[in-house]
Structure 1
Amino acid sequence: MLIADPAFYEAGVATVEEPYLSRTDELPAADPLGQAVQEQLAVGATAALTPTGYLRAGDAAAARAAAREVAAREDPRIVLALPIDVGWLRSDLVGRLIEELVAAPDLKAVMLGGQLDPLAGFPEALTGLARILARIPGTTLLRTDLAAFGALARGAVFAGYGLSSRLRHIVPPGEPAKRSGFTTSPAVLFPELMALFLGKTLARRFAATHAPVCECAACGRRLLDSFPSNRDVRPAARHNTAVLMSWHRTLQALTTGPDRHRWWQNRCRAAVDRYPLVNAAIQQPNGFHVPPQLLRWSLLGPAPSAPAGAGVD
């Protein structure tokens, strides 16, 4: 499946009157949904994402309006884009979102909005995402990071791991993007720790000891601390992609359901347990910190199951 994301949600908020947006550099279209679908299919997309505006947490009316308009089209090529604020995943709101979307036809593409790592923002976020994946048929997860594999392990139709930090979440419209600081170093995936670290951070941490050797399809045999500057962006990206694809092949070889969930949780637990061992090896007790999202994946219980004939909580 080939999908192009118009990402209109980056510029505006969905409302009950206008759940779908037009391009900001053009006059508002009379039928923004129809125009966006036509444009995407015309350039070769096999399915079209709706031009949904950003869905503020708690605005059930806007979510309902977007779902109803897609249902009225009765076109299986349309994927309902759901750029939701991460606040929707709180325990007091996620049930309302499920109620609005459970009957929406065909595929739904969830994208999370918030600063930095939205799923690390509050403890309920990952549980809320798991409820959505379990209750809403046809759910996918786009513009994300580690959660792409967690979503696939819990039944997502497909998922997208963002190539850069900008593509791993949505910054809410009108808010400046928060950054952890200016960097001149690429993000490098440390497979054993299941997390991205700056190449220069890895070089510093392993300066006084031997760095792990990566044997992925892209690296062959390359030290993990050998991506220190932006000159290494492309090799780092190839490394990241090769590692991610190896995980994906392993996951795809497992039967959908409990087998995938167990594999993912066991992998996350093994990574969490690895952090103190790596820190001890480099003699830096606080060298690497377990990312909150990784820890929560390692602790998340089995996927909830809905009673027969029921779709919502």
Structure 2
Amino acid sequence: MSDSSVPLPHQDSAKASHTTGVPGDPLRDRVLLHISPARVGQARGHLDPVRSGLVLCGKDALRKAARLRREEAYGGVLLIDPAAYEVGAATAEAPFPQVASDALPFDDPLEVSLAEQRAAGVTAPVTPTGYIRAEDSDALRAAVGRVADLGDPSVVFAVPIDVAWLRDEESAQRLIAVLRLVEGPKAIMLGGQMDPLARYAEAVGHLRSVIRQTPGAALLRTDLAAFGALAAGAAFTGFGMSGGLRHVVPPGEKARTGGGFPTSPHVLYPELMSFFLGTTLAKRFAASPAPVCSCAACLGTRALDSFTSRRNPLPAAAAAHNVSVLMGWLRALDALPGGSAREHWWHERCKAAVDRYPLVNAAIAQPNAFKVPGQLKRWALAVPAPAAGTTTATAAQRTR
């Protein structure tokens, strides 16, 4: 089944006027949902069909994609993340690791993966790039060379890089220079434990520079950065449905988590712009009324402290809530013109969330109940450039 035989979702004229190298560019300006195949049913019905879509990652991604297209009549944007970076690192000799256990010695992992994805009916195939370690320019150049040789701008070049590529200006500019050699979209994924973008003080600023200076730059398998990057001009982004799909753990390392096995689903607290276990929210608001959510799934009838079990239907309800909140943010961002207006909107939203934490803690009489996530602080401090015709003083007033 080729790409041309797969129906694409409706696109408005504003989106169709932009391009990253693909005629009509069905990916442009979308925040996709990076999700495991097993959870598609929880989220699919709550996606905005014009502004979002799916990125399947994990076991059975190919089979699920084919089933969505052929049996479930899904005509929306659909990508597959081969996640070869979980298997091994890219090297100058082999930038695309061999993932399939039954592969023959002479099989080309890149060609095989792209062909399998196209056969499954993806909107665009994604390269099976290995993890690109900090300062491994040789591996990055080798991957770029192979993708450039394809001469196919419909291929999404996956760029799973260690976040140390964003630690300073020199590393970021080296990354930009190499990525600009690829004509089509470049989907950056950030590697590191827990919250990679919180590791370096200037990482958010350097990420915005990479996005602005690299035509077709995108950001997948991420969190809040999905909106920050889109506001900065990313071609498209992808928000992880679960914590493990919001960053890349370097191959060979065990993922660090905040605790043991969760006993309740993670719930997005919209005003604080962060996820918390449902049981945590229930404890925090045990003596105070919890906020009631007005998202398209909750409709003003469900309190945030009600998601306290992993037994159905609460996980599905939490997933519907989380996706609906994200889609609300996306529609608000999409309603703004591109450029500085979007960046100022995102900055103000993050700053308001940071300012909200002490107010919520005071309201429930628990001074340290909710702590501001490191990355949220970074976005709140990353003041966007002044809009055209706006004085520096005016811009500073807007961010106070």
SS of the counterpart of 1:109?
strand
Q: 8 Å contact 1:29–1:35 — kept in the other structure?
A: no
* Partner residue in 2 for 1:80: 157
Deviations 1:39-74 (A, max 9, x none): 111110121111110000100111111111111111
Q: Conserved in 2, the CA contact under 8 Å of 1:112 and 1:144?
A: yes
Residue in 2 that maps onto 1:42? 119
Structure 1 residues 204-244: Cα deviation after superposition (integer angstroms, max 9, x where no partner): 11000111111111112111111112122111111000100
Report the Cα distance in structure 1 between the residues aligned to 2:223 and 2:372, rounded to whole angstroms.
15
- Structure 1 spans left out of the alignment, 5+ residues: 306-313
Partner residue in 2 for 1:297: 379
1:167 to 245, 250, 261: 245
Residue of structure 1 equivalent to 2:183: 105
Does structure 2 conserve the Cα–Cα contact (< 8 Å) formed by 1:76 and 1:106?
A: yes
* 8 Å contact kept, 1:134–1:303: no
- State the 1:22 CA deviation: 2.1
Name the SS of the counterpart of 1:141 in structure 2: strand
1:56 equivalent in structure 2:
133
CA distance in 2, matches of 1:86, 1:24: 27
Out of 341, 351, 364, the residue aligned to residue 282 of structure 1 is: 364
Tell me, yes or no, if structure 1 residue 208 matches structure 2 residue 287: yes
2-structure distance, mates of 1:303, 1:95: 19
- Which residue, 69, 74, 98 being the options, matches 2:146? 69
- Given that residues 340 and 386 in structure 2 are in contact (C-alpha distance below 8 angstroms), is that contact kept between their aligned partners in structure 1? no
Q: Which residue of 2 aligns with 1:10?
A: 86
Deviates more, 1:252-261 or 1:119-128: 119-128
State how 1:258-277 maps to structure 2 within 5 Å. Answer: 258-277=340-359
State whether residues 163 and 192 of structure 2, in contact with CA within 8 Å, keep that contact through their aligned partners in structure 1: yes
What is the distance in 2 between the residues matched to 1:190 and 1:227?
Answer: 12
Structure 1 residue 24: deviation in Å? 4.2
Equivalent residue letter for 2:333 = L
Structure 1 match to 2:69: none
User: What's 2:392 paired with?
Assistant: none
Identity %: 57
* Partner SS state of residue 160, structure 1: strand
SS in 1 for 2:78: coil
Question: Using the alignment, how far apart are the partners of 2:386 and 2:165 within structure 1?
Answer: 18
- CA RMSD in angstroms comes to 1.5
Residues 255-301 of structure 1 deviation map (CA, whole Å, 9 limit, x = unaligned): 11011001100111111111111111001111111111111101113
- Give the structure-2-normalised TM-score: 0.74
> What does 1:86-235 align with in structure 2 at a 5 Å threshold?
86-91=163-168, 92-182=170-260, 183-220=262-299, 221-231=301-311, 232-235=314-317
1:15 is displaced (CA, Å) by 0.5
Displacement of 1:7 in angstroms is: 0.8
| Distance in structure 1 (CA, Å) of the matches to 2:167 and 2:359 | 34
Q: What are structure 2's unaligned runs of at least 5 residues?
A: 1-76, 388-400
Moved more, 155-164 or 21-30: 21-30
CA distance in 1, matches of 2:151, 2:96: 17
Deviation per residue, 1:145-188 (Å, 9 max, x gap): 11101011100111111111111111100001111111211110
What per-residue deviation string (whole Å, max 9, x for no partner) do you get for residues 83-137 of structure 1?
0011111104222111211221110000111111111122122122111111111
Q: Give distance in 2, aligned partners of 1:165 and 1:228.
A: 18
Whether the 8 Å contact between 1:269 and 1:298 is mirrored in structure 2 is: yes
Give secondary structure in 2 for the equivalent of 1:3: strand
Distance 1:29 1:12, change over 3 A: farther
Q: Distance in 2 between matches of 1:23 and 1:189?
A: 34
CA contact 1:261–1:302 (8 Å) conserved in 2:
yes
After superposing the two structures, state which structure 1 stretch, 176-185 or 296-305, moved more.
296-305
1:303 Cα deviation from its structure 2 partner: 5.4
SS in structure 2 of the partner of residue 246 of structure 1 = helix
8 A Cα contact 1:134 1:304, kept in partner: no
- Structure 1 residue 302, shift from structure 2 partner: 2.1
TM-score (norm 1): 0.94
SS of aligned partner of 1:286: coil
Letter in 2 for 1:43: A
